[in-house]
Amino acid sequence: MQTPLEQTYAAAVPELSVPWTADQPPRPEIVWLNEPLARELGYEPEQLRGPEGIALLTGQIAGTVAQAYAGHQFGTANPQLGDGRAVLLGERLAPDGSRHDLHLKGGGRTPFARGGDGKAPLGPMLREAVIGEWLHALGTPTTRALAVLTTGEQIAPRRGVTPEPGALLVRAAASHLRVGTFEYAAWHLDPEVRERLVEHTIARHHPGADGPLGLLEAVARSQAELIAQWMLSGFVHGVMNTDNMTLSGQGIDYGPCAVLDEHRRGAVFSSIDRGARYAYGNQPGIALWNLSRFAETLVPLIDPEDPNGAVEQATAVLEQFEGWYLAAHSRGLARKLGLPETLAADEVEALGEELFALLEAQHVDHTGFFRALEEGEAERLFEEPAPFEEWQRRLRALGGGQVAEGVNPLYMPRNVTLERALQAAHLGDMGPARELLEAVSAPFLRRAEWEHLEGPGDGGEDFMTFCGT
């Protein structure tokens, strides 16, 4: 059916993975196949639906591995995490020459499993698919779901006592190299292995980087771009642990994540984030914290003879993160507000700070505001319009307000809407989930049949997600 998958990562650093095969599901069935992505990867969708395709998508092929990594979880170091219920199927070379990991989640326990049966329920697998397709449609670097399958079995529930339908997610990613990968290598393996890991990461993702210090800068720049786009779209990852920060600059692992309805800097939608560590407004600072942990793993390789000098060099790179982030954020915000590209970043950011304070004070919908501004109807969203009218006068004085089409989305994975779609899928009705996947994949063009997907729905601000992916 296809050229065999490669395993260049496992070959380059075999110390960081173990051969492992996913459990064979009793009655696998594809409930959603990402046909555009399949074709980008060089697969014909009908082939993936056939016996060989099902074998691939369920991990019943030779050469699969489970990856080792560590991480800081909510600020606390965990020396061993890894693919507890997942396997790396291999690397696919697409027709355009790009390389993609294919990764299977929900395939049973691996040597890195810490508890549970290694299975995954259908709802969280579909959530990751929806979030990934929406972010991709916005142009945000992200992993994407290739397919979601049910396994034909009922698994232990995450909450309550009712069993849930088992499912598999096949994810495509630039790679699964994470900050946590380097933490594992730094904590458990010798310098020679870490040097090979640096070389492999540079070759795969940042070929222009000069050694470990150049790698740190490249990763920091890519994360500054990514987090700026998250903030502009109102996306809240929910669990920004170091094992969830990729070195490619893609977003990954969309478990307890959500998207703002009302604009709130302190918004938290994750049931396990009791201290609000990963609140919406904290995401840029957490990214820098994670990058600092990455830098710590590289210090012995930057200058083995002068650790203090290596720390100074790494610190000098990290001190530039805020500037890279603000440049990316102001550039994106200017597009969303229709401001000239030539306007100074500090002027854009000052106007943005006033706007976001106003949105929060008057409980205005984040996505709804930017779309209404594009359509010339933003005034209707404010109970007290005078402060907005004053802000809008300043916006227009700076040349803003005329927003290009295709900048501000209309459709997004509204919390209540997404949860209802996942509940329907749990009960056997995939219609709402498929509709939502179609809408978030084309988020800019209004369609009459999707009118019910435009607003936030009732109860979105009290919405909470649970760790299930």
Q: Which residues are catalytic?
A: 243
Two structure tokens written together for 402:
């005329």
Q: Which tokens go with 294? A: 């990455």
- Region of 82 please: left (phi>0), alpha (psi -120 to 50) or beta: left
Q: Rounded to 5, what percent of the chain is helix, strand, coil?
A: 45, 15, 40
3-state secondary structure of 239: coil
Beta bridge partner(s), residue 258? 236
457/368 Cα distance (integer angstroms):
12
Torsion on CA atoms 229, 232, 237, 241, rounded to nearest 10: 60
- With b for 16 or more beta-carbon neighbours within 10 A and e for fewer, the 5-36 pattern comes to bebebbebbebbbbebbbbebeebebbbbbee
How close are the terminal C-alpha atoms of the chain, in Å?
30
Residue type at 30 in one-letter notation: I
Cα(94)–Cα(41) distance, integer angstroms: 4
Q: Which letter does DSSP use for residue 3 in this model?
A: P
Closest CA to 325 of 247, 236, 225, 250: 225
Triad 2, 197, 306: Cα angle to 5°: 165
**Contact, 429 vs 436, CB < 8 A?**
no
Helix, strand or coil, per DSSP, at residue 67: strand
Contact between residue 182 and residue 242 where contact means Cβ atoms under 8 Å apart: no
